[in-house]
């Protein structure tokens, strides 16, 4: 007799059901070392394409590849056990249309073991969101500031066009997204979006009215070289590393270590 398999991870249904009940706590992780600590605490881990900027020193997320997302996604899935793991589809891997998006998403799910993918876009991406969700790919949406559009919109500025963001959010919720990121908008826009859709809104730089929040873990722990203006720092891990390596260097140079 074999033991009953127990599902330890949260599912997309668990996340969706938190709307109106409790806030959804999300953070990014790109590596095994960060994932195994974050996994103890949060509901959802995002393997964000921000890894291109945070880990690889790129200026934007446009240069991130599917191979990068698979390598980091697989490490995070291996190093977590209770969290839902979602991997960002990188720029150029889904914008051609539903078929390209399904191909990329299926490859990422097979090669990482992640349970969902995230893609940026509103009305123009609704058909793709529907195509994926109807075929077994849970989709985390992303509206407001969409960093993969940086070259078209000329920067990472806050979005104030509430009518458009509201239409975008409704379109991807209607198309089947299980939740959506709302990035860098006014608190009022985020509140309207949160009231208008029946899936959790996960804010980043979008005020307090969303159903949940997400930040880049390296930003909120003080490890990132550059951070967006809306980040709150909960630790100064970069300073701790600098102090440690300075102490080590002094001891080695003085012959006190080892
Ligand atoms: N480390 C990190 N954290 C993030 O939250 C993050 C990334 N990287 N990379 C992908 C996107 C890009 N994000 C960003 C990046 C910069 C600003 C920022 O500095 N905004 C300024 C204006 C910048 C401009 O005009 O271009 C602002 O005042 O809004 C905002 C969001 C959020 N995401
Ligand atoms: C900041 C979050 C929402 C993201 O998309 C990322 O980390 O790439
Ligand atoms: Mg992203």
With b meaning 16 or more CB within 10 Å and e meaning fewer, what string describes 132-169?
bbeeebbbbbbbbbbbbebeeeeebebbeebeebbebb
Q: Quick check: 111 pLDDT over 70?
A: yes
As a whole number of angstroms, the distance between CA 31 and CA 169 comes to 30
How far is the centre of ligand 2, averaged over its atoms, from the C-alpha of 28 (Å)? 7
Q: Does residue 216's CB lie within 6 angstroms of at least one atom of ligand 1? A: yes
How far is the centre of ligand 3, averaged over its atoms, from the C-alpha of 19 (Å)? 22
Query: If pLDDT is split at 50, 70 and 90, which confidence band does 8 have?
Result: confident
Q: Quick check: 234 pLDDT over 70?
A: yes
How many C-beta neighbours within 10 Å does residue 33 have?
A: 10
Residues marked as catalytic: 183
Taking alpha carbons only, the member of 122, 242, 112 closest to residue 185 is 122
Q: Does residue 36's CB lie within 6 angstroms of at least one atom of ligand 1? A: no
Closest-CA residue, ligand 2 atom 8, reads 48
Fold classified for 12-254: TIM Barrel (3.20.20)
Percent of the chain exceeding pLDDT 90 equals 97
pLDDT (tens digit, 9 = 90+) per residue, 131-156?
999 999 999 999 999 999 999 999 99
Ligand 2 mutation target, pool 121, 182, 214, 217, most atoms within 8 A of CB? 214
Q: Does residue 158's CB lie within 6 angstroms of at least one atom of ligand 1? A: yes
Q: Quick check: 2 pLDDT over 70?
A: no
pLDDT (tens digit, 9 = 90+) per residue, 79-95?
999 999 999 999 999 99
As a whole number of angstroms, the distance between CA 34 and CA 150 comes to 27
- Position 185 scores a pLDDT of 98
Interhelix angle 162-174/126-133, rounded to 10 degrees, is 20
Closest-CA residue, ligand 1 atom 10, reads 50
Query: If pLDDT is split at 50, 70 and 90, which confidence band does 5 have?
Result: low
170 is in an annotated binding site: no
Closest-CA residue, ligand 1 atom 32, reads 228
- Of all helices (H) and strands (E), which one includes residue 152? helix 150-153
Using the atom order of ligand 2, give the atom closest to the CA of residue 49: 8
The CA dihedral of 196, 184, 217, 12, to the nearest 10 degrees, is 20
> How many residues does the structure list for the chain?
258
Chain-centroid distance of CA 123 in Å reads 20
Which residue spans within the chain are E strands per DSSP? 24-28, 44-47, 84-88, 116-118, 139-144, 179-183, 201-204, 212-215
Q: Quick check: 4 pLDDT over 80?
A: no
- Position 1 scores a pLDDT of 57
Mean pLDDT of 101-108: 99
How far is the centre of ligand 2, averaged over its atoms, from the C-alpha of 68 (Å)? 15
Percent of the chain exceeding pLDDT 70 equals 98
Phi, psi of 142 (to 5 degrees): -155, 110
Taking alpha carbons only, the member of 218, 148, 225 closest to residue 183 is 148
The residue ranges of every structural domain in the chain are 12-254
Closest-CA residue, ligand 2 atom 5, reads 48
88 is in an annotated binding site: yes
Unique residue bearing structure tokens 């109807």: 134
Evaluate whether 113 touches 70 at the Cβ level (below 8 Å).
no
pLDDT (tens digit, 9 = 90+) per residue, 32-55?
999 999 999 999 999 999 999 999
Q: Does residue 230's CB lie within 6 angstroms of at least one atom of ligand 1? A: no
50 is in an annotated binding site: yes
Transcribe 97-148 into DSSP letters. Answer: -HHHHHHHHHHHHHHH--SEEE--BSGGGHHHHHHHHTTT--EEEEEES-GG
Structure-token pair, residue 143: 């509206």
- Ligand index nearest the alpha carbon of residue 221: 1
Ligand 2, CB cutoff 6 Å, lining residues: 28, 46, 48-50, 88, 181, 183, 204, 214, 216
Q: Quick check: 6 pLDDT over 90?
A: no
């Amino acid at each position: 007799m074999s033991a009953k398999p127990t599902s330890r991870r949260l599912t997309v249904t668990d996340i969706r059901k938190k709307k109106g009940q409790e806030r959804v706590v999300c953070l990014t992780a790109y590596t095994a070392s960060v994932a195994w600590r974050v996994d103890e605490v949060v509901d959802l881990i995002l393997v964000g394409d921000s890894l291109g900027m945070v880990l690889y020193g790129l200026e934007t997320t446009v240069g991130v590849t599917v191979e990068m997302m698979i390598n980091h996604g697989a490490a995070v899935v291996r190093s977590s056990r209770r969290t839902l793991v979602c991997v960002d589809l990188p720029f150029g891997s889904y914008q051609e249309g539903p078929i390209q998006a399904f191909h990329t998403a299926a490859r990422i799910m097979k090669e990482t073991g992640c349970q969902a993918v995230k893609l940026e876009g509103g009305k123009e991406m609704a058909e793709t969101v529907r195509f994926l969700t109807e075929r077994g790919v849970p989709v985390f949406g992303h509206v407001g500031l969409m960093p993969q559009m940086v070259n078209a919109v000329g920067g990472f500025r806050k979005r104030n066009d509430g009518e458009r963001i509201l239409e975008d959010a409704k379109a991807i919720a209607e198309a089947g997204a299980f939740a959506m990121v709302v990035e860098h908008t006014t608190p009022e826009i985020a509140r309207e979006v949160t009231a208008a859709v029946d899936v959790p809104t996960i804010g980043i730089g979008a005020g307090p009215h969303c159903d949940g929040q997400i930040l880049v873990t390296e930003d909120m722990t003080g490890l990132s070289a550059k951070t967006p203006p809306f980040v709150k720092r909960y630790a100064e891990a970069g300073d701790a590393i600098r102090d440690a390596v300075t102490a080590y260097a002094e001891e080695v140079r003085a012959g006190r270590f080892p």
